[in-house]
Amino acid sequence: RRGLVIGYCRVSSSGQKADLERQAEVVANYCEKQGYQFRIIKYIGSGMNYKKKGLQELLRLVCEGGCGKIVVNYKDRLVRFGYELIETVCEEHNVDIEIINQTDDISYE
């Protein structure tokens, strides 16, 4: 399980469900092309709410050794603010964060 990659996809509102599906498709295609054994976590919720089910599940996997890498389409899909804190937790548990698109996310918000 240590090698499992988590593709993490998030949008802020239920009106963005189509965007969430497109985001998940991009992340899944990327993971497949990289040859990763992966699982997608996707959820709808604010990037500023740290108690959302999807983020809690991701952090639990990181802290319990359930993944070795997180893949996100854009940096702000992980969290809107406090990315450095999540990054530090991941570093402490030897989990890499891989960001597919290094540009600002303007399509999902």
pLDDT, average across residues 25-30: 97
Q: Each residue of 82-95: pLDDT tens digit?
A: 889 999 999 999 99
pLDDT, average across residues 62-69: 93
Is residue 47 in a domain?
yes
What pLDDT score does 76 carry? Answer: 85
Active site residue 13: no
Domain range holding 20? Answer: 5-99
For residue 105, pLDDT over 70 is answered with: no
Predicted confidence band at 109 (pLDDT cuts at 50, 70, 90)? very low
For residue 96, pLDDT over 70 is answered with: yes
Q: What is the CATH number of the domain that holds 80?
A: 3.40.50.1390
The tokens 């319990």 sit on which residue?
Answer: 64
Predicted confidence band at 102 (pLDDT cuts at 50, 70, 90)? confident
Is residue 36 in a domain?
yes
| Measured distance CA(86)–CA(108) in Å, rounded | 21
What pLDDT score does 45 carry? Answer: 77
Is residue 32 in a domain?
yes
Is residue 106 in a domain?
no
Cβ–Cβ under 8 Å, residues 22 and 84: no
Q: Could you say which DSSP state residue 109 is in?
A: -
Is residue 108 in a domain?
no
| Measured distance CA(95)–CA(109) in Å, rounded | 27
- Total tally of structural domains belonging to the chain: 1
Percent of the chain with pLDDT over 90: 57
